[in-house]
C-alpha cells in the first residue's frame, strides 16, 4: 500500500526541467598549477582529467602536482610571507574584501562550475556554497586589522606558511574556510584541492589575480594524496590544516609528531539526529532529510544516524518515506533537483559496499522507487531500519545518501546512543521542550548541535569536532587561533 501511495505522490510532483545555463562558465581545456602568481606545468609534466560526476564528461585536464612542485610552491609562499605578514592588517583586510566582492560578482559562474565539477545540485551551490564562501571572506577580512582585540594577546603573530589540504564535498567553501583566516592573520598559503574537484580552486586563483593579491601569497596545487602528504611533510610548512577522512587525519597527526607544526583537523562524523515524541513530525522529517540528503550525504557533519523515540517510530518513518519519495534526483544543473550525483566512481563504490554490508548484517534496506540516470555516478536515497548499534551502517561513516534508523525510549538512552561513536562532530535534537533541548545538548559530545534545525553554517559560528572528528575550530573568533602563534 505504501508504495502505491508513494508513486502517486511522486507523479503529482512532476516538474518540467528548469536547467541553469551552462554557458555562464568558460572552462579551459587545460589548467596548470598556480605557483607564485603564475600558472605553470608540473615539474614532471603529469596531468589528470577532471570529470563531471553526473555525466562522466571530461571537463578539463589539470596539471598534477608532485613533490618538486610542492617544494616550489612552499618556496614561493615563504618568499611572499615577509611582506604579506608585514602589511598593516587594514591593507590585508582590503585584499580580502576585494576577494569577497569578486566572489559575489562571479557567484553564478562559480555555482555552475562547482555543480559541474562536484555533481551537487545547483540549488545548493547557488543558495548555500557560494553565499557562504563570500560571507567567509567578508567575515575574516574584518578580523585582519583587529587581531589585537581577539583575545589572544597583543601583537599576535602569524605562523608562516600554511599547508592546506581540502576535500571534494564543498570544494570552494572548504577553500574559503582555509584561506580566509590564514590570509587575515598574515600567513601565506599552499592549498591542495581534491583530485576530483580542482576547478573552483583554480578559478579562485584567477580571482586572486583580479584582486591584485601579491604573488606567492596563495598557491594552488591540484593533485592527489601524494602531493598532500608531501605538503604536510615539507619542513618549511609551519601550519597544517586538513579537512577529510579520519584515517588520513591520523596519518597526518603521526607525520607531524615531534615537529613544531601546528595542526587542525576536521574529519569524519556519524551525527545523531534525535527526534523526541513531542517534536512536530513534519518539521522533524524536513530536518532529517536535510540532515542526511543535503549534498547527497557527502557531508562530514551529516545526520546519518536517526534516533527516533520508539513511540513515534512508525509514524515518523511513514512520513519520512513519503517525503523521500518526493525528492527529485537527476541533472544537478536543474534548479528543481534535490539529489545530485555522487562525486566519483570511487566514492560510489564505497557507498555501495557499505550498504551491501548493512544488508548482509541484517538491517532492512529501503529506497523510494527512483530512476537513476544511465551515465554518471548515482545512488538512490536509502534508509536502513532495524539497525542496532553494532551494525556497520550505525558505526562507520558512509559519506553518502544513506540513513540508519535506531530507536530509543528515554532521553538518557538517546544521549548514550548518540555518544556511542568514535566521532563527535554534529548532532540534532527535535523536541518542543526547551529544557530538554538544553539538557540533551549539554550531554552530547559533539562540536555542533542543531536544535530543531540541521546543517546550518555561518562564518561567525565555530565548527569542528570532539574525539576522532578532529581538533581545532574553523569559523568565528575561534578560527583565528589555528593561524596565530599563540
Residues that bind other proteins (CB under 8 A): 135, 151, 153, 246, 249-251, 253-254, 257-258, 260, 265, 267, 422, 437, 441, 444, 446-453, 456, 458, 460-464, 466-468, 470-471, 473, 476, 478, 486
Nearer to other proteins, 327 or 449 (CB): 449
**Which of helix, strand or coil describes residue 59?**
strand
Rounded CA-CA distance 296/391 in Å is 21
* Minimum distance from residue 416 beta carbon to other proteins (Å): 11
CA–CA gap between residue 30 and residue 25 (Å, rounded) = 14
Task: Between 135 and 230, name the residue whose CB sits nearer to other proteins.
Answer: 135
Closer to other proteins by Cβ: residue 92 or 136: 136
67 belongs to the catalytic site: no
The minimum distance between CB 285 and other proteins, in angstroms, equals 16
**At closest approach, how far in Å is the CB of 300 from other proteins?**
14
CB of residue 387 vs other proteins: minimum separation in angstroms?
A: 24
Q: 32: alpha, beta or left, given left = phi > 0 and alpha = psi -120 to 50? A: beta
Q: What grid cell was written down for 170?
A: 564543498
In this complex, which beta carbon is closest to other proteins, that of residue 34 or of residue 294? 294
Q: Is 223 helix (H, G, I), strand (E, B) or coil?
A: coil
Residue 65's DSSP bridge partners are none
Residue 225 or 462 with smaller CB distance to other proteins:
462
Closest to other proteins by CB, 218 vs 284, is: 284
87/251 with CB nearer other proteins: 251
Map residue 246 onto helix, strand or coil. helix
Q: Kindly report the number of other CB atoms within 10 A of residue 385's CB atom.
A: 18
Are the C-beta atoms of residues 278 and 300 closer than 8 Å to each other? no
Minimum CB separation of residue 472 from other proteins in Å reads 9
Distance between terminal CA atoms of the chain? Answer: 62
What are the respective helix, strand and coil percentages of the chain, to the nearest 5? 45, 20, 40
Q: Would strands 262-266 and 470-471 be described as parallel, antiparallel, or unpaired?
A: antiparallel
CA 259 to chain centre: 28
From the list 208, 300, 301, 370, the catalytic residue is 300
Class of residue 15 by CB neighbours under 10 A (exposed 0-12, middle 13-18, buried 19+) = exposed
Torsion of CA 93, 176, 471, 161, to 10 degrees: -60
Say whether 300 is catalytic: yes
The answer to whether residues 274 and 450 touch, using CB atoms and an 8 Å cutoff, is no
The helix or strand, by DSSP H or E, that contains position 140, with its residue range, turns out to be helix 130-143
Q: Minimum distance between the CB of residue 139 and other proteins, rounded to whole angstroms? A: 10
CB of 16 to other proteins, least distance (A): 31
Of 29 and 434, nearer to other proteins (C-beta) is 434
The DSSP symbol for 118 reads: H
Catalytic choice (266, 397, 468, 474): 266
Shortest spacing between CB 428 and other proteins, in angstroms: 9
Classify burial at 405, counting beta carbons within 10 Å of its beta carbon; exposed 0-12, middle 13-18, buried 19 or more: buried
Give dist(CA 119, CA 335) in Å, integer.
Answer: 13
Active site residues: 266, 300
Amino acid at each position: 500500500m505504501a508504495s502505491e501511495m508513494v508513486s502517486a505522490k511522486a507523479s503529482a510532483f512532476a516538474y518540467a526541467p528548469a536547467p541553469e545555463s551552462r554557458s555562464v562558465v568558460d572552462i579551459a581545456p587545460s589548467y596548470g598549477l598556480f605557483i607564485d602568481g603564475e600558472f605553470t606545468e608540473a615539474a614532471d609534466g603529469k596531468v589528470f582529467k577532471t570529470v563531471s560526476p553526473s555525466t562522466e564528461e571530461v571537463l578539463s585536464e589539470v596539471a598534477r602536482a608532485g613533490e618538486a612542485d610542492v617544494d616550489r610552491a612552499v618556496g614561493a609562499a615563504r618568499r611572499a610571507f615577509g611582506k604579506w605578514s608585514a602589511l598593516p592588517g587594514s591593507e590585508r583586510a582590503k585584499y580580502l574584501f576585494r576577494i569577497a566582492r569578486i566572489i559575489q560578482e562571479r557567484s553564478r559562474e562559480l555555482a555552475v562550475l562547482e555543480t559541474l565539477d562536484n555533481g551537487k545540485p545547483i540549488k545548493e551551490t547557488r543558495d548555500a556554497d557560494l553565499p557562504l564562501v563570500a560571507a567567509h571572506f567578508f567575515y575574516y577580512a574584518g578580523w585582519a586589522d583587529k587581531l589585537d582585540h581577539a583575545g589572544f594577546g597583543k601583537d599576535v603573530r602569524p605562523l608562516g606558511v600554511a599547508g592546506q589540504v581540502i576535500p571534494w564535498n564543498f570544494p570552494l567553501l572548504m577553500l574559503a574556510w582555509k584561506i580566509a583566516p590564514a590570509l587575515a592573520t598574515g600567513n601565506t598559503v599552499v592549498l591542495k584541492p581534491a583530485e576530483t574537484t580542482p576547478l573552483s580552486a583554480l578559478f579562485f586563483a584567477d580571482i586572486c589575480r583580479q584582486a591584485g593579491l601579491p604573488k606567492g601569497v596563495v598557491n594552488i596545487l591540484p593533485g592527489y594524496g601524494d602531493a598532500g602528504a608531501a605538503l604536510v611533510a615539507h619542513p618549511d610548512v609551519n601550519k597544517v590544516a586538513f579537512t577529510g577522512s579520519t584515517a588520513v587525519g591520523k596519518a597526518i597527526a603521526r607525520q607531524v609528531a615531534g615537529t613544531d607544526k601546528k595542526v587542525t583537523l576536521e574529519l569524519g562524523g556519524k551525527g545523531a539526529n534525535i527526534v523526541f515524541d513531542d517534536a512536530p513530525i513534519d518539521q522533524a522529517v524536513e530536518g532529517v532529510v536535510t540532515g542526511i540528503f543535503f549534498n547527497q550525504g557527502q557531508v562530514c557533519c551529516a545526520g546519518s544516524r536517526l534516533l527516533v523515540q520508539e513511540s513515534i517510530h512508525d509514524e515518523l518513518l511513514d512520513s519520512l518515506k513519503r517525503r523521500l519519495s518526493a525528492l527529485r534526483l537527476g541533472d544537478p544543473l536543474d534548479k528543481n533537483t534535490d539529489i545530485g550525483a555522487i562525486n566519483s566512481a570511487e566514492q560510489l563504490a564505497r557507498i555501495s559496499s557499505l550498504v551491501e554490508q548493512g544488508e548482509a548484517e541484517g538491517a532492512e534496506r529501503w529506497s523510494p522507487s527512483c530512476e537513476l540516470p544511465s551515465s554518471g555516478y548515482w545512488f538512490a536515497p536509502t534508509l536502513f531500519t532495524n539497525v542496532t548499534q553494532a551494525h556497520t551502517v550505525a558505526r562507520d561513516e558512509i559519506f553518502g545518501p544513506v540513513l540508519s534508523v535506531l530507536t530509543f525510549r528515554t532521553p538518557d538512552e538517546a544521549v548514550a546512543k548518540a555518544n556511542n561513536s568514535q566521532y563527535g562532530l554534529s548532532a540534532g535534537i527535535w523536541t518542543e521542550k526547551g529544557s530538554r533541548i538544553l539538557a540533551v545538548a549539554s550531554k552530547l559530545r559533539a562540536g555542533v548541535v542543531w536544535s530543531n534545525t540541521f546543517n546550518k553554517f555561518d562564518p561567525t559560528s565555530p565548527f569542528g569536532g570532539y574525539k576522532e572528528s578532529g581538533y581545532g575550530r574553523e569559523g568565528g573568533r575561534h578560527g583565528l587561533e589555528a593561524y596565530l602563534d599563540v
